[in-house]
Structure 1
Amino acid sequence: MSKSPDLNALRLFERVAATGSFTATAHHFQLAVSSVSRQIATLEKTLGQRLLYRHTRAVSLTDAGERYYDEVREALERLDLATEALGDRGAQPGGTLRINGPVAFMRRQIVPLLSRWQARYPAIHAELLLTDTFTDPVREGSDITFRIGTLADSGLVARRLASMHYVLAAAPAYLQRRGTPDTPTALRGHDCLVYHGEFGRQRWFFRRGDAGAHEPMSVPGTLSSNDAESLVSAALLGQGIVLFPSWLIGAELAAGTLQPLLPDWDKEITPQPQTIHVVAPGKRLRSRTVSLFMDYLFDCVGEIPPWDRWAEPPQR
C-alpha cells in the first residue's frame, strides 16, 4: 500500500505552485527555504512524479504538477471550509482572508476599511496582494479580488461595488497661475498630468451632459507616470491638471487642496463608463470570514461610496 502525502507538504506545494517561489512560500509559513524544498522533494518521491521544474529565478509546474495542483487546491479549499463549518458559530471568527486589488485603490480605500474591520475581529489575519497586473484569483489563492474596468468572462462570482466617477482637478495655486479652463478644448493650453500604464498613455474622454458619445481628446503635459499617486502629488504641488477617479482624489477634493473642473462635463478614460467589481471563487463565498467581510464592505460603501461624498456624482 502506497504512503499518503503529508497534509503540510500539500499546503506547501499549493503555495509554491501559486506563487512560483520557494522563498515566498517559506516566508508565508515562516519556514526555512531548505525545509520547504525538502518537503516538496519528499512529496514528489511519495507520488513518484516530478511536480515542479526548478529554475534559477523561478519555479514552474510540470504537466503532472499542473493536474495535481488543480486537484490539491480544490481539496484543501473543501477541507478548510469543512473545518470552519464545524467550528463554534458563536465563537470569534478567525483564519486568513486573502485580498487582491489595484495598488492605489487598495491603499486609499480598502486598507483603512480593512483596519476597522479587523479591529472587530482580531483573530482574523489578512493578506493583501497589491498589484496593477491582472492576476488569476484561483491560481493566486485570493478569497476576494477587486477589479476596475470591464470584466472578462470567467467562472468567478462578481458583484458590482460602485461606479467610477472621474474628476478633472487642479490645485488652487495652479489655477491662479494658469487660469481655469472652461471647456475640454481649453485644456490644450494647459499642463495635463497623464497616467501612462501598461496600455500606453491614457486618453481623456469628454461629453457634455447626456449628449451623444464621449469624445476623446489628446492633452499636452510635461509629466506622465505609471504611478497615479505620483501624479496626484505633482498636482498638489501646482504642476498641472489631473483626471482621476474620486476614490483616488476624493479626500483632496473634500479638503479643497484640489478643485474640480468642468463640472458640467462627463469625464472618462475610456469610451464607456468604468465600474468597480468584487470577484471571488464561488466556493469561497461560503466561508464565514469572507461573508463577514463582504457584508461589511458593501455596508460601508453603500449607494454613494465614501469617496464620492464630497459632492453628488453626476447621474448616469
Structure 2
Amino acid sequence: MQVQTLRYFLMVATTGSFLATARHFAVPASSVSRFIASLEKELGQQLFYRSTRAVRLTEQGQRYYAQVRQAVELLDGAAEQFDHGANPMHGLVRINAGESLGRLHIANLVNQLQARYPDLLVELSLSNTFVDPVQEGADITVRVGRLVDSGLIGKVVCAQRYVLAASPAYLALHGTPQTPEDLLQHNCLLYKGVHEPQRWHFRHAAEAPYEPLVVSGSLRSNNSEVLINAAIAGRGVVLFPNWLYPPASFQDGRLVWLLADWQMSAYADDIYIQILSPENRLRSQKVRAVSAFLVDAIGTPPYWDALV
C-alpha cells in the first residue's frame, strides 16, 4: 500500500470528487479511480458510495478515514520538518468557524489567503454546533466563546464587543434610551437560541459584574440578520456583536449606536474570539502560518471595530 494512494483516498473523501482530486494532484482521473479501487480490493472493503452526482464515504470508509488521516498527517508533519527549502504553503488545511462569523468574515479572509498562496487547498466548514477539532480533523478552529481549558492551543484574537442599536426612524417615534432600564419601555428584538431568548447584560466598568436586564419585544428569531434588518426598518432595538452588523450601517445613518458609554453583552461574562488548533497540528508549519495569517488579517483591535 503506497502512501500516495492514501493521500488520494483522503482527498476524494474531502472533496467528494475523483476529478477534483485528480486536478489537485495533476494526474488523470482514471489513475485516482484505479488507485482507490486497488485500495478497496486490498482492504476487502467498499470505502465509497459512487453515483453520477457524488462520491461519499461508506460507514467502513468513515472509520478508515479517521485512522488514515492521523497517520498521513504524522508522516507529512515529519517530512515537513526537513522540507526547509520548499514552499510549505501547499496541500490541504481544514478550518472550522461559526456560521455567521465564517460567512461574513472568515470566508473573505480565506479568499485573501488563497490569493497569496494559490497552491493551498482550504476546506472551510461552518457550524454553530460545537465541533471537536481532534475528532473532526480540523486544523484550525475559529471559536467564539468563553475562555476555557479545552486542551487546544492558540491565540485570543479579541474580546467580543457588543453594540446596542436602533434606526433613526424608531428613535424619532419612541425616544432614545439614556440608561439600560429605559429599554424596558422599548421594543427589543431578541435573538432566540436553542433554549430561550437573549437576556441582555450591562455594566459601567470592566471590573464590575454584568447586571442582567429582562427585556421584551414583538419579534424573536434564531437568525441575526432577520433581527438586524428589522431594526434597520425601524421595528425596534437590537443587541449584537459589532462584527454582525452590515458594513457602514452606522456611518451611513441606517443605525444609531445606543448607550455607547456602557459595556454590554448577551452573556453574564466576557466572550472572546479565539483561533485554536490541536497541539499535534501546530507541528505543521503550514497550520502555524495560516493561523498567523488569520490573526494578522483580523488585527488587534479587529478591523470590524472601524465599521462601528
What is the TM-score of this pair, normalised by structure 1?
0.77
Q: 1:210: how far off?
A: 4.8
Aligned partner (choices 228, 232, 241) of residue 232 of structure 1: 228
Residue identity over aligned pairs, in percent, reads 41
Matched, 1:307 2:287: no
1:79: how far off? 2.5
SS of aligned partner of 1:200? coil
- CA pair 237-162 structure 1, distance change in 2 beyond 3 A: same
Quote the residue 1:245 is aligned against: 241
Query: Which of the residues 118, 143, 149 maps onto 1:147?
Result: 143
For residues 160-171 of structure 1, what are the structure 2 equivalents within 5 Å? 160-171=156-167
Do structure 1's residue 76 and structure 2's residue 72 form an aligned pair?
Answer: yes
Alignment partner of 2:289 out of 279, 287, 292? 292
Which of 102, 108, 115 is the aligned partner of 1:106? Answer: 102
Q: What's the offset of the Cα at 1:166?
A: 0.7
CA distance 1:156–1:40, change in 2 (3 Å): farther
Q: Does the residue aligned with 2:192 lie in a helix, a strand or coil?
A: strand
In the superposition, relative to structure 1, how do residues 59 and 90 fare at CA in structure 2: closer, same or farther (>3 Å)? closer
Out of 78-87 and 234-243, give the one that drifted further.
78-87
Between the aligned partners of 1:237 and 1:128, the Cα distance in structure 2 is 33
Structure 1 segments, 4+ long, off by >6 Å, are 36-42, 48-52
Distance 2:205 2:166 in 1: 21
CA distance in 2, matches of 1:118, 1:51: 30
**Secondary structure in structure 2 of the residue aligned to 1:290:** helix
- Aligned equivalents of 1:240, 1:37: Cα separation in 2: 57
Q: Deviations over 1:89-117 (max 9, x none)?
A: 35483222221101111122222222222
Give the equivalent residue in structure 1 for 2:212.
216
Deviates more, 1:289-298 or 1:121-130: 289-298
Structure 1, unmatched stretches of 5+, are: 53-57, 312-316
- Structure 2 gap ranges (5+): 23-31, 49-55
2:202 alignment counterpart: 206
Match of 2:279 among 279, 282, 291: 282
1:194 equivalenced with 2:194 (yes/no): no
Counterpart of 2:174 (choices 138, 158, 178) is 178
Worse overlay, 205-214 or 178-187: 205-214
Count of residues paired in the alignment: 293
Change (3 A) 1:241 1:223: same
Distance 1:123 1:5, change over 3 A: closer
Q: Is the 1:104–1:229 contact (alpha carbons within 8 Å) kept by the matching residues of 2?
A: no
Structure 2-normalised TM-score? 0.79
- Which residue matches 2:29? none
